[in-house]
Amino acid sequence: MKRTEISALYAGCAQLDGTSVTVCGWVKTIRDSKALGFIELNDGSCFKGVQIVFEESNLSNFKEVTKYNVGSALIVTGKLIVTPNARQPFEIHADEIVLEGASTSDYPLQKKRHSLEFLRTIAHLRPRTNTFSAVFRVRSAAAFAIHKFFNERGFVYSHTPIITSSDAEGAGEMFRVTTLDPKAPPLNEDGTVDFTQDFFEKPTSLTVSGQLEAECMAMAFGKTYTFGPTFRAEKSNTPRHAAEFWMIEPEIAFADLQDDMDLARDMIKSVLSYVLETCPEDMAFFNAHYDKGLIERLNSLIESDFGHITYTEAIEILEKHKEKFEYPVHWGVDLQTEHERFLTEEVFKKPIFVTDYPKEIKAFYMRLNDDGKTVAAVDMLVPGVGEIIGGSQREERLDVLLARMEELGLQPEDYSWYLDLRRYGGSKHAGFGLGFERLIMYMTGVSNIRDMLPFPRTTGSAEF
């Protein structure tokens, strides 16, 4: 069977006019009146479906075809006819329609609007809807754009470990990974669990970040990035938190905070450009149905220079407008989304970097500034969302890092390999983290992280 995908039909319909083609796909809509019927067939190769025209005069199984249910899988052979005056540029006049797989009259995805909440309960079928077809196609394109960006710049893609015996952030609730008997774990004489009998002979968890391991790779390759799943066992039931999500974490050697910001800016511009270029119909759909200003905002980011302000300057500005905010703002507090959006949307009216945050609200590995109070951290804030990327220059000075770890009660022996990077030819280096689902939310205007992952994992939910 020589099959042509619908995306190829759209690309080549002028050349294919009048020729016979075979398309395979699923029935999105079907209707008939007397001796004539119409099927919208979709094969997932692009956002759009193709219109199939079938006639009793031309089709021996016409009557059966009229009874096919929405969702049925069909193999259709027919003549492609260009239709310059119709809504769609061409249609297919069927000479043969073969039922590859039937559907039922109670198929859950009938032609009507379903709520995103309902569709989450049928996550195995929802990729067939317009919204999720577009979300996952954009997700796939964005993932490729990220690999392409880093590959073209000579970054080595590193698969940092998922199961870990360390805790990258020195904080964060983690999932335990174990093969011990859940009911009756082996115990030591003092009554504690005997983890030497666990699979890895010690307690292990799911990683919250590949950064520390990525730093090892940066000290060998100069430039590296991770792109893999990370985990948080936080019972946050919000539209922005999932227990399992994908993160991109580049790490660059011989680089400071400015290099880090340049990289983050170039990356995000590159990814947005790629997706707008390769998924125009999916993006037009989101623009029409989810966020009327979406494409304009993304294009504006691509063309924009980025603002830059320190945390201290940001606080000064925010304090002048404190009556606008729900959360109080003063030097030392972390910025809330409302503060971030005010800065990027109202003050700068473009994307900005905020740098040099108080050390108390940032992780132990961030480089201490000369003021002794702030660290070389950076957040990228974008209109419509707030923070989308967080990064920092890393502390490369062994003595300063050890002092900071002592302040925080971290044990140097737990990080001996990480500290070795400062003992053996350490260099200035920096990196950032981008939550992949947050990026897709920003790019699609769909506002719940549960709709960004094919099968989302959140508190109380690990279906499929």
- Give me the least distance between CB of 85 and a copy of itself, in Å please: 30
Site string for a copy of itself, 229-248 (x = CB under 8 A): x-x-x-x-------xx-x--
Q: Is 356 left (phi over 0), alpha (psi -120 to 50) or beta?
A: left
Judged by CB, which is closer to a copy of itself: 54, or 311?
54
Query: Which of positions 316-335 make contact with a copy of itself (CB under 8 A)?
Result: none
Of 374 and 393, the one with the shorter C-beta distance to a copy of itself is 393
Q: Which member of 35, 102, 171, 288 binds a copy of itself (CB under 8 A)?
A: 102
Q: Does 176 bind a copy of itself (CB under 8 A)?
A: yes
Taking CB under 8 A as the rule, does residue 277 contact a copy of itself? no
Residue 47 in contact with a copy of itself, rule: CB under 8 A: no
Q: How far apart are the first and last CA of the chain?
A: 33
Cβ-based neighbour number of residue 19 at 10 Å: 11
State the DSSP string of 119-135: HHTTTTTGGGSHHHHHH
- DSSP three-state, residue 270: helix
Residue 180 or 333 with smaller CB distance to a copy of itself:
180
**Residues forming a β-bridge with 253:** 429
Of 254 and 327, CB closest to a copy of itself? 254
Residue 286 near a copy of itself by CB under 8 A: no
The two three-digit tokens of residue 416, written as one number: 């001996």
Assigned token pair, 273: 């450009």
Compare residues 403 and 462 and give the one whose CB is closer to a copy of itself. Answer: 462
- Give whichever of 51 and 160 is closer to a copy of itself, judged by the CB atom: 160
The footprint of a copy of itself on this chain (CB under 8 A) covers a number of residues equal to 111
Q: Which two tokens stand for residue 152?
A: 């073209």
Compute φ and ψ for 448, nearest 5 degrees: -120, 130
User: Which of 115, 192, 320, 399 lies at the binding interface for a copy of itself (CB under 8 A)?
Assistant: 192
For residues 32 and 50, give the distance between their C-alpha atoms in angstroms, rounded to a whole number.
16
Confirm or reject binding of residue 347 to a copy of itself (CB under 8 A): no
> Should residue 82 be labelled a site residue for a copy of itself when binding is judged by CB under 8 A?
no
Q: What is the dihedral of CA 370, 168, 462, 137, to 10 degrees?
A: 60
Q: Can residue 423 be called a binding residue for a copy of itself (CB under 8 A)? A: yes
CA distance 228 to 245: 8
CB of 144 to a copy of itself, least distance (A): 5
